[in-house]
Chains A and B, each alone.
Chain A
Amino acid sequence: MDFDPHFYWYVTRASGMVAFALLTLATGLGLAVTSRLSDGLLNRPWLFEVHKFVSLLALAFIGLHLAVLIPDSWTDFEPIDLLLPGPSPYRPLAVAMGVLAMYGAVVGAGSFYIRKRLDRRTWRALHYAMFGTFVLALLHGVYAGTDSGEAWMRLTYFMTGLAIFFLAVFRILAAPLLRPEPSGTPTALSGGAARNMRAH
């Protein structure tokens, strides 16, 4: 079986889609945790751990999405095109949004590991910035993605955007009306997860 000369191109497209799906999931889980939408259904510390892991997984697929573009002669990207917003000759604005979303995802995932050094306000600000990261990733996919013209991909973008919009509105409007968190954490599983939850 011959090696498909466009294999890298297929890989970058598929990894971009998976990265976007994981970023959507990470954003949605973060919103579900903080808005307590899932309380009673899912364990919050468990949900927080999944949220953290999915953020890292998204980052891994973003890395793959970029890494395979370098050896791919079909798309012809240079490393500088992928690391800086602007120099890409292919749809520079859309690619720039992808580059910024990548840095946003790096900061978001990295913030879990420097959380102890951050005050609550900075931590929250960083995580609110994840909305921007999601929007940038969505716009990058819509305007730079080869498959954006396909009905199934459009439906995916629409549904994911709608889901995050709904969760964000719920978080902003409904969460303050919810009951305050009890002093104990009845659903706490383990010390580490409970500590993460309290900081979140």
Chain B
Amino acid sequence: MTTSYLGTKLALACASFLAFAGLTAFVGAREREAGIQAGAPPVAASGVVAADDQGASISVPADQQTPTPVARTRGT
């Protein structure tokens, strides 16, 4: 019966981790898609990833970035 408990716990832990990994990928994909579509991708701490005319990601040099006051405006 201890084996049964252990199996259940392992299954729950694995399912939780898989859900977590899937949700992380899901919200990340949605954010990237929304950022590119809006033309205003989120500001990173050390640079900006923007989209060129073809939709490919390009790096914008720090001195050409438009400051975006995003800090403390995003939720969890």
Contacts and interface: CB of A to CB of B under 8 A. Distances in A.
Contacts of B66: none
Contacts of A166: none
A5 B76 contact: no
A104 B3 CA distance: 31
Contact of B74 (A17, A53, A57, A146): A146
Contacts of B22: 14
A5 B74 contact: no
Given A17-B23, A21-B19, A73-B45, A53 B72 contact: no
Interface residues of B, number: 34
Summarize B's interface: helix, strand, loop or mixed: helix
A189 B1 CA distance: 7
A93 to B, nearest CB: 13
B24 interface: yes
A132 interface: no
B72 A89 contact: yes
A27 B42 CA distance: 37
A180 B31 CA distance: 53
Interface string A72-97: 01111000000000000111000000
A69 interface: yes
A90 B23 contact: no
Interface string A9-42: 1111111111001100000000000000000000
Contact of A61 (B1, B16, B28, B70): B16
B60 to A, nearest CB: 13
7 contacts: A2-B49, A5-B45, A14-B24, A50-B9, A98-B76, A144-B76, A190-B1
